[in-house]
Amino acid sequence: MAETPKLRLYNTLTRTKEDFVPLDPANVRMYVCGPTVYDFAHIGNARPVIIFDVLFRLLRHLYGEKHVTYVRNVTDIDDKINQRAFDRWTRKRPLLDEVKALTDITAAQYEADVAALGNLPPTHAPRATDFVCNGSQPTDMVRVIGRLVDRGFAYAAEGHVLFHVPSMSAYGRLSRRPLDDMIAGARVEVAPYKKDPMDFVLWKPSDPATEPGWDSPWGFGRPGWHIECSAMAGALLGQTFDIHAGGIDLIFPHHENEIAQTCCAFGVDKMASVWMHNGFLQVEGQKMSKSAGNFFTIQDVLKDWPGEVVRLNMLKTHYRQPIDWTVRGLEESRKTLDEFHTNGSAPEGGSPKEFIDALADDLNLPKALAVLHRYRKEERYADFNSAIQLLGLPTVADLRGRATIRFRASGVLTGVDSDSVEQSVSKRLAARRAKNFAESDRIRDELLAMGIQLKDGKDPVTGEPVTTWEVKR
């Protein structure tokens, strides 16, 4: 058996690259903080999903598909969501049901967006609302908060429950910030019920007339953001697990506070062994913001670019570096993929050792992509195909499976809407399969009239009919 490469990961906790040693190699566990589903996800939100999907694929490759558990949560409790739900509330059903109806839509949209970018579904995608006070769940939020109060790490005051930061001597180990910075970074609210300005909210009161909430020992209210992840991770992965990840903005206060809650509630000395953080995405050199007019949702980007182009473009930069999202970069990524897809077909089952070694070195994607290019140059197509699948990008055979072939030489298609051509080609293939040759000929002639020449053939591997097309000159 081939030797398993040593996986090394950069750990924010120690600020070093370390050998990865799973707590249980038969069940490697990873938690990635997911989106707050109050609106469509933006292209920056796609970065952690894509990066940690590649890590998920790599872990499955190294430890076996059945031996990796990946949790990516959905935050569906949030004041902006509450406001929106309240605005459309007709009072015909409980406000919490209105929240659910709203977040069902935004969460489904999110799932569709990230699937279009080639990401595997995580093992579990828990929603925070299912873990607030679920009677059968020993680590739901209300019980974790109760444990923190019982153990002297949290206190109730004026309908709130607060985590008392000075009660935890190890607080701040992840972010390593001086206290003054932390106070500024957390934008701490000065409130009369706080014992210390750093204390953060675990539970807060809801006004039953205008805000959703749950009954709790501290009155009707709702959880704070940080406690959601401690509860969901605890329920699905256990009190201590292997990898916890998210964008770099989450180091403080979110991840720092998750550690505080989990360690103090359960009396463990760590929540996760490795903490990983992706750098931020900016657009054409500028911070992305609605006011600057350079804010793009995943859907905006997918209108102009195929999912695999967006994905490759995200993988070209090392995940810990900032990434500059540019049209030029996307154009180059499209060109690269078009080149990749002129590869000859190859059987499955390559063993792309150098490629995996690059990924196993703290996801060195730029290096891994260089190896991929080399495989292509050396016509090692079996290795190439195994490698590209680990990145979640389509192989030539995958594209043929879509029954159409993408256009190749860039630039030829000026003035032609490739999506509508591909739609017609698919329709014609369906007509041929149904032996409706009159319809299939009609579509062929219609395209010919537009200057598009079709060529029918067979996939060399599967024998399925395939149709390629080009613009007649």
Report the interface residues with ligand AMP, using CB under 6 A: 33, 35-36, 44-45, 47-48, 246-247, 249-250, 278, 280-281, 288
Stretch of 102-110, 138-146, 226-234, 350-358 contacting Zn ion, by CB under 5 A: 226-234
- Return the number of the residue (250 or 302) whose C-beta is nearest ligand AMP: 250
> Which does residue 229 bind out of ligand AMP, Zn ion, none, counting CB within 5 to 8 angstroms by kind?
Zn ion
Stretch of 78-86, 212-220, 229-237, 387-395 contacting Zn ion, by CB under 5 A: 229-237
Q: How far apart are CB 248 and ligand AMP at their closest, in Å? A: 7
Q: How far apart are CB 250 and ligand AMP at their closest, in Å? A: 5
**Backbone torsion region of residue 404, taken as left when φ is above 0, otherwise alpha when ψ lies between -120 and 50, otherwise beta:** beta
Which of 294, 363, 306 is CA-nearest to residue 340? 306
Quick one: tokens of 225?
């953001």
Phi, psi of 31, deg, nearest 5: -125, 130
CB count in 10 Å sphere of residue 169: 7
Could you tell me the strand order of the sheet in which 272-278 lies? 68-72, 28-32, 241-247, 272-278
CA 129/CA 139 separation, integer angstroms: 13
Instruction: Kindly tell me which residue out of 7, 33, 363, 466 binds Zn ion, with binding defined by CB under 5 A.
Output: 33
Which residues, at least 6 apart from 442, have a Cβ–Cβ distance to it below 8 Å? none
Stretch of 18-26, 165-173, 221-229, 367-375 contacting Zn ion, by CB under 5 A: 221-229
> Which does residue 247 bind out of Zn ion, ligand AMP, none, counting CB within 5 to 8 angstroms by kind?
ligand AMP
Element containing residue 237 per DSSP (H, E): helix 225-237
> Which does residue 280 bind out of Zn ion, ligand AMP, none, counting CB within 5 to 8 angstroms by kind?
ligand AMP
Instruction: Kindly tell me which residue out of 85, 229, 274, 466 binds Zn ion, with binding defined by CB under 5 A.
Output: 229
DSSP state for residue 288 in the 8-state scheme: -
CA 55/CA 48 separation, integer angstroms: 10
Residue type, 364: N
CA 22/CA 28 separation, integer angstroms: 6
314 lines the binding site for Zn ion (CB under 5 A): no
> Which does residue 309 bind out of Zn ion, ligand AMP, none, counting CB within 5 to 8 angstroms by kind?
none
- Return the number of the residue (48 or 394) whose C-beta is nearest ligand AMP: 48
Q: How far apart are CB 79 and Zn ion at their closest, in Å? A: 17
Q: How far apart are CB 38 and ligand AMP at their closest, in Å? A: 8
Residue type, 196: D
- Return the number of the residue (319 or 325) whose C-beta is nearest Zn ion: 319
- Return the number of the residue (83 or 436) whose C-beta is nearest ligand AMP: 83
Residue type, 116: A
Which of 361, 288, 300, 369 is CA-nearest to residue 333? 369
The site for Zn ion (CB under 5 A) is made up of 33, 229
